[in-house]
Amino acid sequence: MNLFDVQIDRTKSGCEKWDKYKNQDVIPMWVADMDFKSPQAIIDALTHRVEHGVFGYTGIDKDTNKAVIDFIQRHYNWRVKPEWIVWLPGVVSGMNITCKAIDTQDVIINTPIYPHFVKAPNNANLNLIKVPLVEKNSRWTIDFDAFEKAINPTCKLFLFCNPYNPGGTVFTKEELEKISKICVKHDLIICSDEIHADLILNPQVKHIPIASLNEEIAKRSITLLAPSKTFNIAGLQSSYAIIPDVTLRKSFKRAMAGFPGETNLLAITATKAAYTSCDEWLEALRVYLKENLNLVQEFVKKHPKLKLLNQDATFLSWIDVSALNLENPYEYFLKYGVGLSEGEPFGDKNFLRLNFGTTKVLLKEGLLRIEKALKNLE
């Protein structure tokens, strides 16, 4: 049996995803975590650490930093120096710290987008400049002319998402070079949320950390990464920023001073195991998720009123349901027992986001329920 076919009961485990529909016949396909068990190496490392029994103040050890550096080198051919790493309890914290650290009045983002890209600038009382993604060759991408035109002199920060959530775009080298040139030309700091980097499902496509392109972009970059999506350990709160420029790094650290920064001992333990012993598991996960994506894509093809552009990454599909003319698409499908993510918080109420990071059995059942809901509209 495939490891990822094992159905694990996540109820009674404080699980946000399943608790939302407690005691209801609803398949949760919303928040971005997966229903899979983490790799055994992580579970073993955590068990071993817990059995030690002493949980005092814990710092980041050299081995953990090395595990991060080697993982990034191995997977993305980017050589990170240990002093560039700033540990964080979450990527969202990193986005909020960035918005406080950078001297800017406006923040430029693309839309629709993961809601914290809007919330973080709001929390720091910054104005938002929103540049909608465009459809090109059946794929979501940036309209670079519109993007450049939207930048004004009081905007010094671009909050970028690559791979993109929602939409699953992995930006190409050429696209990243365009972004890099625009950031340099307009003196923008780029905060690049690359939390989904490891979840590339198309073997023809590679994730390129934008900071790895050249020195010029590296020195104006804050890259946010984490093992949380990849190894399904979001509840452990492990993430980090990579900030090559010393002055930018100082500003970032100043903005986080006094807050519950860094991470915690179980997160450190899990991260070290994830980055040193789980490449094979990750490879198998990608294969399984790709098969799931195929199921979703085939399903959408069968239903002409649904639309899904090509995606190369993430376990999240951004489905256009506008042709159904529903007052509230989320509520409609919920009545049929599927709990999808509403499009509105991402910036488009005509879309629903479907999380296919689950067993094939559950995914197929979810798709069957959606099919039934669609039939009843005919």
Ligand X SMILES: Cc1ncc(COP(=O)(O)O)c(C=O)c1O
Give the footprint of ligand X on this chain (CB under 6 A): 32, 90-92, 114, 161, 165, 193, 195, 226, 228, 234, 239
Say how far apart CA 116 and CA 114 lie, in whole Å. Answer: 6
- Minimal distance, residue 219 CB to ligand X, in Å: 23
Note the helical H segments in 186-263: 215-218, 228-231, 246-256
- Minimal distance, residue 148 CB to ligand X, in Å: 23
Looking at beta carbons only, is 69 or 159 nearer to ligand X?
159
Rg (CA), the chain: 20
Looking at beta carbons only, is 116 or 349 nearer to ligand X?
116
Looking at beta carbons only, is 263 or 374 nearer to ligand X?
263
The residue of the chain with the least Cβ separation from ligand X equals 90
| 297 CA to centre of own chain | 20
Q: What angle do CA 4, 113, 71 make, to 5 degrees?
A: 50
- Minimal distance, residue 371 CB to ligand X, in Å: 27
Would you say the C-alpha torsion 324, 132, 99, 154 has a positive or negative sign?
Answer: negative
- Minimal distance, residue 88 CB to ligand X, in Å: 8
203 contacts 173 by C-beta, under 8 angstroms? no
Looking at beta carbons only, is 110 or 239 nearer to ligand X?
239
Looking at beta carbons only, is 80 or 91 nearer to ligand X?
91
Say how far apart CA 344 and CA 332 lie, in whole Å. Answer: 14
- Minimal distance, residue 291 CB to ligand X, in Å: 22
